[in-house]
Amino acid sequence: MTDFPPNGLGGETDPNAWHFSRLGEEGPLPNPVGHTFPLLTHDPDGKWRLVGTGFYINDGGFFVTARHVVEEVLEGNKQRAPLLVLHLHSPSGLFGASECHFRPIAQCWISDSADIALGVAATATHKVTGEAMKNWTWTLSWEKPTDRTLVHTYAFPNHVVVNDGRRIRFAPHAYSGRVISTGEFRDRVMLPFPYIEVDFRIHGAASGGPIICGSYIVGINCTEWPENLDHPPGPGFGVQSLCLADAFLDNVVLPSESSPRRVTFNELVCAGVINVQGYSAPSETALEKGQLVDMTMAATVPFPRVELEQYF
């Protein structure tokens, strides 16, 4: 694997120190690949590239990422290129050790004020039984971590695209650090929304990945200050999870209903479709902001060969 990034990108956490876990489980997380994933697109020439990271928040395919990740494939509110969830092959991952799965996306809500998006992946079915498959999930939290709280992210920035975009090698990593600050507003250009400032690295394709505090997701990776002559890279910044409060989705059938309709994020939480620790319902005036984008454009070229460098 001579063309694989040999030394990482900087700021990686020792895999033996990964002690964040799925809610209700003890010990280190065995494999975050099951619910945290790369998001890929391709150009008209068939060259695939990684645009960011996403993670599931319910077992039926609802996921969260950064708004700017989704905007990579949009022109205005129209999709111009495919965007797919990639489930990597791994012994304890969702689809097994010998195969990966490219999962289409049905729709995405993107915030009009914060760098956050809520998407719905297409239903994944078992090839033999035809049954709908359920994915692992993270649990969101509306609570803000206090300064100096230990937090982590898990994402896929350490990767290499070879063979003219037809082969991709991934080395997923965790990055750990402390909360520097939180706030409702930092500036009008970069962070005009509730944010979390962290001292771990947020490399480019880590955008959209989870900011994990204990067993909960308190934020989503957005950006970091670039390295310059007077300052090392970082700190990193994320959007607080509570910025999903304005979200809405179409064609959702709630557990107590029989017909699909438009639903708000608040309705999804109240119906138990999405779990949020420390949740508080927004006011009526805060509902249904942002825009909903159809994301059903399919890949038109062969999928790339995918390889995974295991670190767990």
Do the Cβ atoms of 83 and 117 come closer than 8 Å?
A: no
Mean per-residue pLDDT pooled into runs of 10, the chain (312 residues): 61 67 49 82 94 94 97 93 88 64 95 96 82 85 95 89 88 89 87 94 92 92 72 82 96 96 96 96 74 95 85 48
The span from the CA of 248 to the CA of 25, in Å, is 30
The beta-strand segments (E) located in 80-215 are 84-87, 101-110, 117-121, 139-141, 150-155, 159-162, 167-170, 173-183, 195-198, 210-213
Say which residue the tokens 């959209």 belong to: 208
Q: What pLDDT is recorded for position 232?
A: 62
Write out pLDDT tens, residues 210-244: 999 988 999 999 998 765 545 566 689 999 999 99
Q: What pLDDT is recorded for position 227?
A: 58
Q: What pLDDT is recorded for position 136?
A: 82
Cα 102 to chain centroid, rounded: 15
pTM of the model: 0.91
The SS3 assignment for 281 reads coil
The SS3 assignment for 243 reads helix
Longest distance between any two alpha carbons in the chain, whole Å: 60
Q: What pLDDT is recorded for position 285?
A: 57
Q: Is 264 exposed, middle or buried (CB count within 10 Å of its CB: 0-12, 13-18, 19+)?
A: buried
Do the Cβ atoms of 66 and 208 come closer than 8 Å?
A: yes
The SS3 assignment for 84 reads strand
The SS3 assignment for 285 reads helix
